[in-house]
A = this chain, B = another copy of it.
Amino acid sequence: MTTIGFIGLGIMGGPMAANLLAAGHTVLGHDTQQAAAERLVTAGGKYVDSVAAATAADVVITMLPDSPQVEEVVLGPGGVLEHAEPGLLLIDMSTIRPDTSVAVGAAAAARGVRALDAPVSGGEKGAIDGVLSIMVGGDVHAFDAARPVFEVLGKTIVHVGPSGAGQTVKAANQLVVGGIYALVAEAIVLLEASGVDPGPGLDVLAGGLAGSRILELKRKSMVARDFAPGFRIDLHHKDMGIALAAAREAGVALPMTGLTAQLIAAARAQGHGSLDHSALLKVLETVSGKAAS
């Protein structure tokens, strides 16, 4: 099997590494948190105390919070590229800015390292169950080489284009998800303020052209004001920042995305950062003077 360096063993990276171990791979894991190290060892992995040590592998996966961490771990002094042998396959599965992924891809190529940007959707549950959606940017041969690893981690695995394309698709995904939550929230506010029970009303919407995965999975919990995460507002707030940065980089204007980003910022400003992103409903309630539950 393959020796995989895995840097970033948090809520997502931890279970992903565990799945790779369960599939028989050797994992050299690194994280700055002690608890993450212990979980890895319990799952059968080998903890290493530096990025350099994690780079002594066939494949290196990074799963980090945001663009600056990826820049530091991959490009920075003592980072992956400083220690990488030519031929290494570097898979960054963090959700970061597309232009950072392009920069990582170019720097990797200059060192003879094959790099892929491969952000995921599906959340902690998808990571644990190994059913993530993985959207991959980079060279198609590198993608083919990485496929056995991806198949352990995800169910929908799509090569979407060159370096950075995975991140762009993830950004597009997040702006659509955020926007649909805001729209469903406005529908609920309108129905309730009109004295209409949102239950059967949303059932109709879910069955027609207004239907969406979000209505399917979340309409009951939203109406019940159950906002246990799931995917936290704080993370979606970060992702909307990436979507707007991607739009800026691409030279396009996205008015709905611009407004959605502010509504998600409002959710955070109102103190709901650790709730599920469906808590956007609380913002739309507040706007209309409805007591948030």
Among A6-14, A61-69, A106-114, A152-160, the stretch in contact with B: A152-160
Chain B min CB distance to A203 (Å): 6
Task: Write the chain B residue with the least CB distance to A202.
Answer: B172
Using C-beta atoms within 8 Å of the partner chain, give the interface range for chain A: 35 or more
Chain B min CB distance to A267 (Å): 8
Render A207-250 as a binary contact track against B, CB cut-off 8 A, 1 for contact: 11111111001000000000000000000000001011011111
Q: Which residues in B have their C-beta under 8 angstroms from that of A57?
A: none
Q: Tell whether, in the assembled complex, residue A158 and residue B208 are in contact, meaning their CB atoms are under 8 Å apart.
A: no
Q: Tell whether, in the assembled complex, residue A191 and residue B205 are in contact, meaning their CB atoms are under 8 Å apart.
A: no
A201 to B119, CA, bound (A): 13
Q: Tell whether, in the assembled complex, residue A190 and residue B205 are in contact, meaning their CB atoms are under 8 Å apart.
A: no
Q: Which residues in B have their C-beta under 8 angstroms from that of A190?
A: 168, 171-172, 175, 243, 246-247, 250, 252, 254
Q: Which residues in B have their C-beta under 8 angstroms from that of A203?
A: 158
The interface centre, meaning the residue of A189, A205, A209 with most chain B CB atoms within 10 A of its CB, is A209
Q: Tell whether, in the assembled complex, residue A270 and residue B256 are in contact, meaning their CB atoms are under 8 Å apart.
A: no
Chain B min CB distance to A125 (Å): 11
Q: Which residues in B have their C-beta under 8 angstroms from that of A159?
A: 200
A32 part of interface (Cβ distance < 8 Å): no
Q: Which residues in B have their C-beta under 8 angstroms from that of A79?
A: none
> How many copies altogether?
4
Q: Tell whether, in the assembled complex, residue A247 and residue B265 are in contact, meaning their CB atoms are under 8 Å apart.
A: yes
Residues in chain A within 8 A of chain B (CB atoms): 98, 121-122, 133, 135, 137, 156, 158-162, 164-165, 168-169, 171-177, 179-180, 182-184, 186-187, 189-191, 193-197, 200-201, 203-205, 207-214, 217, 241, 243-244, 246-263, 265-266, 268-271, 283-284, 286-290
Whether A195 contacts B258 in the complex (CB less than 8 A), given A121-B209, A169-B204, comes out as no
Contact of A212 among B213, B248, B268 (CB under 8 A): B213
A189 to B244, CA, bound (A): 13
Q: List 30 A-B contacts (CB under 8 A).
A: A122-B208, A160-B204, A161-B195, A161-B197, A169-B196, A172-B190, A172-B191, A175-B186, A176-B183, A176-B184, A176-B210, A176-B212, A177-B209, A179-B183, A180-B180, A180-B210, A186-B257, A190-B243, A190-B246, A211-B213, A212-B213, A241-B248, A251-B288, A253-B263, A253-B265, A253-B269, A255-B263, A257-B262, A258-B262, A287-B287
